[in-house]
Amino acid sequence: MITREQQIYDPPSNWLAALGRRIIAATQGTGRALMLLLGAMAYVPFACSRKNRADVMQQLYLVGIKSLGVVTVVGLFTGMILALQMGLALRLFDQEHLVSTLVCNGVFREMGPFMTGLVVAASVGSSIAAQMGTMTVSEEIAALDVMGIAPQRYLMMPRLVALVVMLPLLTVYMDMIGLLGGAVVGATMLGVSPEAYFDGAFRYTYNKDLYVGLLKALVFALIIVTVSCYQGFSTREGAVGVGHATRRTVIVSFLLILMLGFVVTRLCYQ
């Protein structure tokens, strides 16, 4: 069952009991979220079936095409900011020509997937949590459970497929836009020609840097869909609860993206 009756406990007797209760609740929530993810993954083979194809295509459009505008602006200015800040530092040592290498490595390894994950978590993740939360408080999810219709198949799985497919593609797009933004700053403010910029960018950037960024994008996609759907399915207290679920989705997604991004980098570049 996706929906559950809210458990009522007596107030904790002291701060230690309150802390223990929070730890237990967090552990239970993590387990339920992972079970939701595994349940949705089990339905992935049905993504192209007649019943799910339209929903999957709609989610692909919402996650991918509708996010292009924001991703373009964020990617462009991320590359420009990186190039400007690093270029000003390198100018102290007359090494402005190295700015392209630093920008390319930084965008491919970290800033591309990181900024894409934040943008999608804030836009798509919050939207998923609000939609699922509204369906939960209006008892639509409970009605699906009663009728034997799996919410994980018809609600969570299309969003899982869309995020897993589109977030790496958006990351590659942001990488290219960020690199272009750095080239604009290099040519207009640092005296680095576009030819020298792109030559330095790709000469010292390896396939591993791109692969690590794509791995992060995949991890971030799983984080966003799991957190947003879990918070939506756990919504209580009507419209106020929907607002709280949306807020928690963005906060938890941001924190997990930061922490797991560091973990992936540490494991891949030991």
The angle, 0 to 180 degrees and rounded to 10, between the axes of the packed helices 194-203 and 157-189 is: 130
Angstrom distance (rounded) from CA 62 to CA 75: 19
Contact 83, 192 (CB under 8 A): no
User: What average pLDDT does the segment 20-30 reach?
Assistant: 83
Which pLDDT score, from 0 to 100, does residue 249 have? 94
Predicted TM-score (pTM) of the model is: 0.89
pLDDT over 90, % of the chain: 54
Distance between CA atoms of residues 215 and 168, nearest Å: 8
pLDDT in tens, 69-115: 999 999 999 999 999 999 988 888 888 888 988 999 999 999 999 99
| Helices 99-106, 68-91: inter-axial angle, 10-degree rounding | 140
State the chain's mean pLDDT as an integer.
89
Give the CA angle between residues 72, 61, 228 to the nearest 5°: 85
Which value, in Å, is the radius of gyration of the alpha carbons in the chain?
A: 22
| Cβ atoms 141, 156 nearer than 8 A | no
Give residue-wise pLDDT tens across range 193-229. Answer: 889 889 888 888 888 989 999 999 999 999 999 999 9
Q: Are 124 and 226 in contact (CB under 8 A)?
A: no
